[in-house]
Homo-oligomer: A and B are copies of this chain.
């Protein structure tokens, strides 16, 4: 019989926090790491970008579908995507975790490790956080970013006539989630890639960075393509028309849609958790590497598809049914 795993309550808050921060190396931007009342992070050009997201067990992840390490990596990805969408690079994170007292300490360690290793890949440090008792596992991440002297890429910069383009997978996470929900034998169908995309999104950070000089507006696709294009429209005071023929689902999405008897466009138009990026570019400029044209900025308001107002698909809202 294997020994009962030690719990967070048995080890104690300070010890668990110590385990989470001890093994990580800090980048040069971490001027003072964890262990004092606050950390101190370099903000080389006198500005710091900041964004936060909270993930809740049962709502944003399930431990029977994702490992704790995958949950950590996902939390990092969705936060980092917000920073890249501003044209900035992540420098540091603070991570607060709530969990029940009987949570095995290995679970918290693995969430921390997932966040830490993914942060390290991006050159960012985990510089602080909190660990508290709660009924559900809650992972709250705040990420800081450095604009490197450049201008931020806002949602409000889209101009009429601009090209609308995307980079990264669309609908893949939503398709993976649908396969998990349906209990589909996705492995046998060769659809592991979609489930992996749901467990750990892989935002195309390099492509977002490549767009930061030329994009007139940019956002990450976190609420669904139509919803996030709608945010660009509202902030910029324009309309966006999407050419549906330019949004070709991948082969595996088509296979998954057929398997589940659904329309793959629903995933592509409203699935948010891939953390792809959408941006607009001046008509005459070449698109950066990795970007695909999907439409055009027009006069007016709201998003249309092939000239008709997009209906439904308000995208992910935390409290939608």
Interface of A toward B, CB cutoff 8 Å: 8-9, 12-14, 31-32, 35-56, 59-60, 81-83, 85-86, 88, 92, 94-98, 101, 127-136, 138, 140, 142-145, 147, 152, 154-156, 218-220, 235, 317-321
Contacts and interface: CB of A to CB of B under 8 A. Distances in A.
Contacts of A40: 47-50, 86, 147, 152
Contacts of A155: 35-37
A320 B132 CA distance: 10
A303 B36 CA distance: 18
A167 to B, nearest CB: 15
Nearest to A139: B140
A51 B134 contact: no
A132 B75 CA distance: 14
A59 B94 contact: no
Nearest to A217: B36
B12 A129 contact: no
B92 A133 contact: no
Nearest to A84: B37
Contacts of A39: 49-51
Nearest to A218: B37
A46 B49 contact: no
B37 A50 contact: no
Given A37-B85, A43-B46, A48-B41, A12 B54 contact: no
A50 B55 CA distance: 20
B319 A133 contact: yes
Contacts of A144: 48, 50, 144
Given A37-B86, A38-B88, A54 B235 contact: no
A8 B53 contact: no
Interface centre among A31, A60, A219 (most CB of B within 10 A): A31
A12 to B, nearest CB: 6
A78 to B, nearest CB: 10
